[in-house]
Structure 1
Amino acid sequence: MTAPTTIYRNAHVFTGEAALKPRESFAVRGGKILAAGDLDAVRLATGEGAAEVDLGGAFVSPGIIEGHAHMLMLGESLDKVQLRDCKTVQEVQDRLTAARSANPSAPLVLGTSWRFDIFGEGERPTAALLDAAIADVPVFLDANDLHSVWVNSAALQAMGITRETADPIGGEIVRDENGDATGFLLETAAIKHAWAYLEEAASDDDRDRFLENAFNAYLKTGVTGATEMSFGHADLATYRRRLDRDGRLPFPVNAHWLLTASGDPSADLEAIAEIARVRDEVAAKYGDAWLRIAGVKFILDGVIDACTAAMRTPYANGSLPEAIWTREFALPVAVAADAAGLQLALHAIGDEASTIALDMVQECIRVNGPRADRRPRVEHLESVADDTIARMAALGVTASMQPVHCDPAVLDNWQAVLGDERAHTGFPWHKFRDAGVTLALGTDAPTAPHEAPDNLFIALTAKSSIDRSRAAYQPQRVFTPADAVEALTLGPAFATRRDNELGRIAAGYRANVTVWAANPLVDSPEALLDSTAALTLVDGDIAFSTAG
């Protein structure tokens, strides 16, 4: 029996490449694109009996692929107290008090996305500030960048953090002059203590709900694929339950297993071998159409807001922190991962960290030889040197960047802690484009809002989607609409090594398609703000529609 065919017509169909003109229509059969082009040609390709859907002149693109996400964290954050728009500590305290009053039986209170701008010069988060709002149950508040956690005294006690608790490699339990923890956990200290505690506290039902939240939120905004950047055993178990239940996911996910610097080379190499084993086991059982463990993620440094990103020259306060993964430990582990066929995703926000990232890639090529499918990627690249951009082009490294990270509303502290010309040269999208570096855009949700149209708005304008009164940050960097849409679709497909099946509206490709509520090629960018997708297709099926 022939699969049913649907023709979508009366549309501006962006096929995935900025250089190609939009088409008029496309057809779907059996979950794949059958044809794309002018309506008469598409009708001829489909034959008689096809259903037709009039899209009313809407803009259509390949399904958006979220270039950098934390799926369970996003889904969990949607249940948390939202703090991104708080301008003072008092506002944070008020929201926590209101949340506690609304749910007085909750065993703990979770919040997310507070910003460093709420503190005065020289001030830092403390447990005492949170105790003033809630003292009887643990409080855990993720920073906007997800690289630190602010907790109250009850949380410190619940985690068992005392004066004797040692700082982990690459992290810090901030302490006062007496050696007591102040309630601020940085980098791997947040991962080892706060995240581990909350992972233990969450049930399987909780995690299943978090994942469902994330899929639904993304589908609503037109996302039909995601790149998971903090994968671990709890995540894998959650995905496996979904696959065992449904035989599929709501959209394809490429996962990078999160590595934690241990300081023990043998333990690090054993971790690589275990990840490769798990990858093979998952692929053997489920295939990789829906879930692919693609590689590993190294968090090479921290973030600029907390002065933990590794820079070549000091911050305004004189600090110059080391990378979390130094070359001594990073290079051999990268070589082992690359030899096992694991793709490298390298978190590098500071210019020194991105230098280390390319040293890792170069060492992989030297030891393991050239390979066309390597496709290493560097994540974030907020402050990056020109010589690094040139090396990325030469080595074939993808720049995975997030326009929402340079929303002007969140840059005040970022610029202040840099304090020199680096405050005005960040996020240089234009330099990557000029050098011919492949760009894959995403949001890094929940460190930033996950909505794809708002992310595209910032890429097109360098303005704020949060505070629309703010001036643009370095607007010479902006994308043309066609280049930006390609970097949201085909760019991440290439970066995830799925560009043979995703990222294009072309015959034989999976019919993952986004129908936008606004046309970024012709409409004012402001029309994108606060919009959802009009229609989201995954393998030809309707996954979200404003029409219900």
Structure 2
Amino acid sequence: MKRSPCLLMLALLALAPAAQATDLLVDNVNGYTLDSHGKLQHFQALRVEQGKVVATGSHAELAGRVGDARVIDGHGRTLLPGLIDAHGHVLDLGYARNSVDLTGTQSLQEALAKVKAYAAAHPDAKWILGGGWNQEIWKLGRFPTAKELDAVVSDRPVWLSRVDGHAAWANSAAIKLAGVDAATKDPSGGRIERDASGGPAGVFVDGATDLVNDKVPAPTAQERAAALDAALAEMASVGLTGVGDAGIDLDTYRLYRDYADAHKLTARIYAMIRNTGAAFDTISQDGPLIGYGGDFLTVRAVKLFADGALGSRGAAMLKPYSDDPHNRGLLFMPPAAMTAKIDKAFAKGYQVAIHAIGDGANREVLDSFATAYKTHPAAIALRNRVEHAQILSLQDIPRFVPLKLIASMQPTHATSDMNMAEDRIGHQRIAGAYAWQRFLKQGTVIAGGSDFPVESPNPFYGLYSAVTREDHDGQPPGGWYPQQDMTLVQALRAFTLDAAYAEHAEHTLGTLEPGKWADFILIDHDIFRDPASRIWNTKVLQTWVGGRQVYAAKD
């Protein structure tokens, strides 16, 4: 996605320290919001004071309450609550936009050409970094190799993460710097793809990526800030007013606090501390950080990982993969270790969110939560989350209810994975995969997200996938396993009210009810009246956070 420098400046300067939210009357709109019960409401005007919603209603009801407010004519355009991505990776999005971006490449040759061009354009870069590749789209039937990368860049290390972030591709220079050879054993929770002689072939899966990651220079402060700037600008341009950042380190925590202090955040960030190690010990010294900087930064969750991803066959399955009968994927830790990490987070009062893709990993997570609740019974009220909850045994889905777990799910994963998911796990297990209606019908809250930059941060892609289960070409007609489709109201709720609920913020965010922050967007058409096929192509015209404009599309 291309971004105009002037829009980037608008996004960053709109919340400059001296800026104050102006009282507003946004009139002549085709407004929609959910109420606190998830019922869809319609309105023509929105009244905002001191950054918060005072009222929604008809023009006649609110026109007489203008006072000193700035009046904005919506010209009949559709207004929605600001959308919240419950699971993204903010700095990774910025890094992806500022490095080799292989997202959407259709062949190995196209990807190699991009790497070659980037290397030529950055002759002083010590490492060539990037990601977004997907060998399934390339129809390779295998992983790419180091030798293929060597053909375009051999004079310095190249390190490119797979689209899911659970595997990475190295050239020979990177492998040599990492000291990996045929004698190197697979680390716990990881796998080195090997050639016919047993040497490293070029791709490292899950825990094995640390072998190379440890040699990559850490981003500079300037690179971190540039990544955050790029991510915030893109998020504003697609209508995201909030994001759950699923796994931050100490440097990122400090960067977010600096931006919050300087009023430079243009989206509300609900940050999850990655793991319960040294960063958690430092960040959690004073307990959870809630509503910092005018509700722009909250840090009250811990992100753990149970397994890898389906595309790289790192998702931990109860039985072997249908297309790889000797492989069940990778559990990152035994149940006792997982429970110990949960216990540590609970003891400090932190919500726990655990990445689990495969049915084996999901069962381990459910068992670990059940065990941890015996020691910390009050922690069941923390709204703990399973991130992805992608493939489950049908007998495990009902266990979310007594454990009071939130299913943090990404609708675009279904439409991205449908080209290979059934090959991986077979027809029988697909019944418990991407099973949105199974969760909703039992009363489980689904928090909607994208896992960007694994997927696009555009939440309208997620709404479209949730409603149609089709790709952007309308395939397959009628949707992939359409009995699990969401209604549009259910999908909107997942990306607004229920995403806010997953952040303990449903009383301040997620709808345009009086007393809540005035986070809203104007879009170019009515998604409730127009065909569902148009949802993914929705254009955001304006984005407002706390009654302050942070994005305006060019005319």
Paired residue secondary structure (1:529): helix
Partner of 1:506: 513
1:446 match: 453
Q: Per the alignment, in what secondary structure is the counterpart of residue 130 of structure 2?
A: strand
The one-letter amino acid of 1:439's match is I
Give the stretch that moved more between structures: 93-102 or 476-485.
93-102
Pick one of 240, 244, 251 that aligns with 1:234: 251
* C-alpha contact (below 8 Å) 1:303/1:309 kept by paired residues: yes
Q: Is there any run of 5+ residues in structure 2 with no aligned partner, and where? A: 1-19
Question: Alpha carbons of 1:287 and 1:118: their partners in 2 closer, same or farther (altered >3 Å)?
Answer: closer
CA RMSD for the aligned pairs?
2.5
Counterparts of residues 71-150 of structure 1 (less than 5 Å): 71-117=90-136, 123-150=142-169
Select the residue among 313, 331, 351 that pairs with 2:339: 331
SS of match in other structure, 1:336: helix
Taking the aligned partners of 1:443 and 1:402, their CA distance within structure 2 comes to 5
Counterpart mapping for 1:279-298 below 5 A: 289-298=295-304
SS of 2:33's equivalent? Answer: coil
Paired residue secondary structure (2:62): helix
* One-letter code aligned to 1:339: A
Q: 2:40 & 2:476 partners in 1: Cα distance?
A: 34
CA contact (8 A) 1:272 1:333 kept: no
1:153 deviates by 0.7
In the alignment, the residues of structure 1 paired with residue 294 and residue 350 of structure 2 have an alpha-carbon distance, to the nearest angstrom, of 14
Q: Percent identity?
A: 27
Asked whether 1:364 is paired with 2:372, we answer: yes
Find the aligned partners of 1:425 and 1:3 in 2 and give their Cα distance.
46
The reply to whether residue 430 of structure 1 matches residue 437 of structure 2 is: yes
Q: 1:357 to 1:494 in 2, by over 3 A?
A: same
Secondary structure of residue in 1 paired with 2:247: strand
- The residue aligned with 2:10 is none
Q: Does 1:536 align with 2:555?
A: no
Match of 1:255 among 252, 265, 271: 271
Contact 2:273 2:280 in 1 (8 A): no
Q: Per-residue CA shift, 1:242-269, capped at 9, x if unaligned?
A: 234x14522211111112xxxxxxxx67
Q: Which amino acid aligns with 1:462?
A: R
1:485 positional shift: 0.9
Aligned with 1:354: secondary structure? helix
Q: Is the partner of 1:508 in helix, strand or coil?
A: coil
| Contact 2:470–2:480 (Cα < 8 Å) also in 1 | yes
* 85-94 vs 155-164, greater mean Cα deviation: 155-164
Code of the residue aligned with 1:351 in structure 2: it is D
2:202 is aligned with what amino acid? G
Given the superposition, is the C-alpha separation of residues 153 and 490 from structure 1 closer, same or farther in structure 2, using an over 3 Å criterion? same
Alignment of 1:23-422 (within 5 A): 23-43=43-63, 46=65, 48-117=67-136, 123-163=142-182, 165-176=184-195, 178-190=197-209, 192-198=210-216, 200-244=217-261, 246-259=262-275, 273-277=281-285, 289-316=295-322, 317-318=324-325, 319-370=327-378, 373-408=381-416, 410-422=417-429
Task: Check conservation: 1:335, 1:363, Cα contact below 8 A.
Answer: no
CA shift for structure 1 position 341: 0.8
Alpha-carbon distance change, 209 to 338 in structure 1, aligned in 2, over 3 angstroms:
same
- Cα deviations by residue, 1:387-442 (Å, 9 ceiling, x for unpaired): 3221112322111111111225x432333222343346520111111111111111
2:13 alignment counterpart: none
* Alpha-carbon distance change, 140 to 532 in structure 1, aligned in 2, over 3 angstroms: farther
Superposition deviation, residue 386 in structure 1: 2.5
CA contact (8 A) 1:269 1:336 kept: no
Q: Which residue of 2 aligns with 1:459?
A: 466
- Return the alpha-carbon distance in structure 1 between the equivalents of residues 277 and 227 of structure 2: 31
Counterpart residue type for residue 487 of structure 1: A
Superposition deviation, residue 275 in structure 1: 4.3
1:96-153 CA distance string (max 9 Å, x none): 2232333344333233211131566763232112112211121111111110101101
Q: Within 2, Cα distance between the matches of 1:33 and 1:288?
A: 15
Question: 1:263 is matched with which residue?
Answer: none
**Aligned residue identity for 1:214:** A
The residue identity in structure 2 corresponding to 1:494 is Y
TM-score normalized by structure 1? Answer: 0.90
- Amino acid in the other structure paired with 2:463: L
CA–CA distance in 2 between the matches of 1:119 and 1:153? 22
Alignment match, 2:526: 519
Check the 8 A contact 1:89/1:118 in 2, yes or no.
no
Give the 3-state SS of the residue equivalent to 1:394 in structure 2: coil
1:11 aligns with 2:12: no
CA distance in 1: counterparts of 2:146 and 2:513, whole angstroms: 55
- Alpha-carbon distance in 2 for matches of 1:108, 1:123: 25
Letter of the aligned partner of 1:87 in structure 2? Q
Cα contact 2:85–2:448 (8 A) shared by 1: yes
Q: Which amino acid in the other structure matches residue 501 of structure 2?
A: F
Alignment partners' CA distance in 1, 2:280 and 2:253:
16
Range with greater deviation from structure 2 (141-150 or 448-457): 448-457
CA–CA distance in 1 between the matches of 2:545 and 2:294?
16
Which residues of structure 1 form unaligned runs of 5+?
260-267
**Offset at residue 361 of structure 1 (A):** 2.3
Contact 1:327 1:356 in 2 (8 A): yes
Answer whether contact 1:389 1:435 (CA < 8 A) is retained: no
CA distance in 2, matches of 1:166, 1:3: 57
Q: Distance in 2 between matches of 1:350 and 1:418?
A: 10
Matches of 1:256 and 1:3 in 2, distance apart? 28
Q: Note the C-alpha offset of 1:277.
A: 1.5
Displacement of 1:33 after TM fit?
Answer: 0.7
1:278, CA displacement in angstroms? Answer: 6.5
State whether residues 29 and 45 of structure 2, in contact with CA within 8 Å, keep that contact through their aligned partners in structure 1.
yes
- Asked if structure 2 preserves the Cα contact closer than 8 Å seen for 1:440 and 1:492, the reply is yes
- Aligned residue pairs total 531
